[in-house]
Amino acid sequence: MRQEKYDVVVIGAGVGGLCSGALLAHKGYKTLVVEKLPAVGGRCSTIDYKGYKVPVGAVGVPSSGPFREVFEEVGAEFNVKQHPEGKYLVDGTEIPLPEKGQFNAILSHCCKNEDEFNRIRKAMRRADTWEKPSNEITLRDWLLQYTDNENVLALFQNVCSAFIIANAHEASAQEFFDIRTGMMRSYGAACFPLGGSIALMESLVSVIKVRGSDVWTGSPATKILVTDEKVRGVVVNSPKGDVEITADAVISNAGPKRTVELAGRENFDKGFLCEVDRMKPAFQMWITTVSDRPLYDWPVVTTLKTRRMINMMIPSMVIPGLAPPNKHIHYSISGPADQTGHWNMKEEVDLHIQDLKDNIPLFSEHGEVLHVGCYWGDWPTITNTPFAGYQPMKQKTPIENLYQVGEAVGPRGWLGGTPGCALTAKMVVEEVDKRITRQRMTG
């Protein structure tokens, strides 16, 4: 077998993998990122279909926070365009809101009176600034202590299923507030990438290659090599045949379950395997609809009190190049009523379409469904869903010098999404940098 040597090998060219690769290459480490698919980006990528940019995952990215910081640190282009805050529809009717501070305005609209609004705001402020609610109760149970008003419950359900993916009656109340004070506070303005999310990922690839490191696509890692409880390298099935690559450290962006398969269960301790086996992904459906006109007069619409639908985006209103000339692309998102149950996919699609018809009047006459994406299992929106009682996974593994990055190992308050993946990359690269430097100094 062909042999090669790199300082660090990264398995997977998702957000976590490419941010790690770019940061390491920028620091001068000879780094190789291997990706099994023909294109980079993982769940932050885009497919060209009939002239439209169809996402296979992330669509919106933050203007600040760890994701943006990685691009700045390594000097990668970050071409994005900000979109305005969304409009809210309740029972299909648009609620007039101010341009900024929309959450308070919509909460106030949903409350029956000022006393109720003040009670909820006070509880939220306490949770944000003094003590988070318990990880053992759900967000809905936390909220029921302050109100049983259906409109307020619907608002929290919407925010929870948009950011945590689980429903309010399933999600950890603590994680909801951890995300508010972690990822959401760092987010800045929400933006759409020019050219779709794949363009941002390719921008990181350029930085990696310019620094003399490399990214191989169509090259699955087939084995993580372990000797004496330490990682030694990986075997990669490249288009030119199998290659054994030795490295000082291996960073896996392939997700905990695949990482364990690649290194062999026998190399991990029982506790770690327990944590991996306990992770449960959540299900989300994204329907891509195309049309010769925008189906709503605003690029982002949040829908409350629906059967399934959470929101709809029309990124081509902000970035026309995402659709052919005089055409528009819409993504609407839904989640099941219960994440832990078994769903009838046809029924889930029908309920989502019914919501589109009820909330977006132009959909029936002018919308053409281009793609229905059902994301769960091996390609979920979130892998370690923060149901009440969940525990986050660490980036370090029991195997020395084998680390994990990406959405599945985000710390509390940073689960899922491009910011959390970038944060794991920053944390792991800092650790790898210290460790390799120390190892080299001590010979």
Ligand X SMILES: Cc1cc2nc3c(=O)[nH]c(=O)nc-3n(C[C@H](O)[C@H](O)[C@H](O)COP(=O)(O)OP(=O)(O)OC[C@H]3O[C@@H](n4cnc5c(N)ncnc54)[C@H](O)[C@@H]3O)c2cc1C
Report the interface residues with ligand X, using CB under 6 A: 11-16, 34-37, 42-44, 57-61, 220-221, 253-255, 258, 284, 286, 375, 381, 406-407, 416-418, 421
Q: Is 197 helix (H, G, I), strand (E, B) or coil?
A: helix
Q: Which residues of 368-383 are buried (b: 16+ CB within 10 A; e: fewer)?
A: ebbbebbbbeeebbbb
Contact 25, 31 (CB under 8 A): yes
Q: Where are the alpha helices (DSSP H) in 150-226?
A: 150-163, 173-181, 183-186, 197-210
Cα separation, 285 vs 160, in Å, equals 15
Nearest to ligand X of 133, 410 (CB atom): 410
Smallest separation, CB 133 to ligand X (Å): 24
DSSP assignments along 405-420, one per residue: -SGGGPPTT--SHHHH
Smallest separation, CB 284 to ligand X (Å): 6
Residues 6+ apart with CB under 8 A from 340: 170, 280, 387
Q: Is 375 helix (H, G, I), strand (E, B) or coil?
A: strand
Q: Is 428 helix (H, G, I), strand (E, B) or coil?
A: helix
The residue at minimum Cβ distance from ligand X is 14
Nearest to ligand X of 164, 221 (CB atom): 221
Cα separation, 329 vs 63, in Å, equals 22
First-to-last alpha carbon distance for the chain, in angstroms, is 28
* Full 3-state SS string of 12-34: CCCHHHHHHHHHHHHCCCCEEEE
Smallest separation, CB 425 to ligand X (Å): 8
The upper half-sphere exposure of residue 102, i.e. CA atoms within 13 Å in the direction of its Cβ, equals: 15
Provide the token pair at 283: 């299900």
For residue 311, the cross-strand partners are: 302, 333
Nearest to ligand X of 151, 238 (CB atom): 238
Residues 6+ apart with CB under 8 A from 118: none
Cα separation, 420 vs 152, in Å, equals 28
Contact 18, 201 (CB under 8 A): yes
Smallest separation, CB 136 to ligand X (Å): 25
165 alpha-carbon distance from chain centroid: 10
Nearest to ligand X of 193, 367 (CB atom): 193
Nearest to ligand X of 107, 382 (CB atom): 382
Q: Which residue has the tokens 């829908």?
A: 303
CA torsion angle 171 177 183 185 (round to 10):
150
Nearest to ligand X of 107, 183 (CB atom): 183
Question: Looking at the chain, how many residues does it have?
Answer: 443
Nearest to ligand X of 335, 367 (CB atom): 335
Nearest to ligand X of 21, 367 (CB atom): 21
Smallest separation, CB 126 to ligand X (Å): 28
Nearest to ligand X of 10, 168 (CB atom): 10
Nearest to ligand X of 55, 367 (CB atom): 55
Smallest separation, CB 441 to ligand X (Å): 31
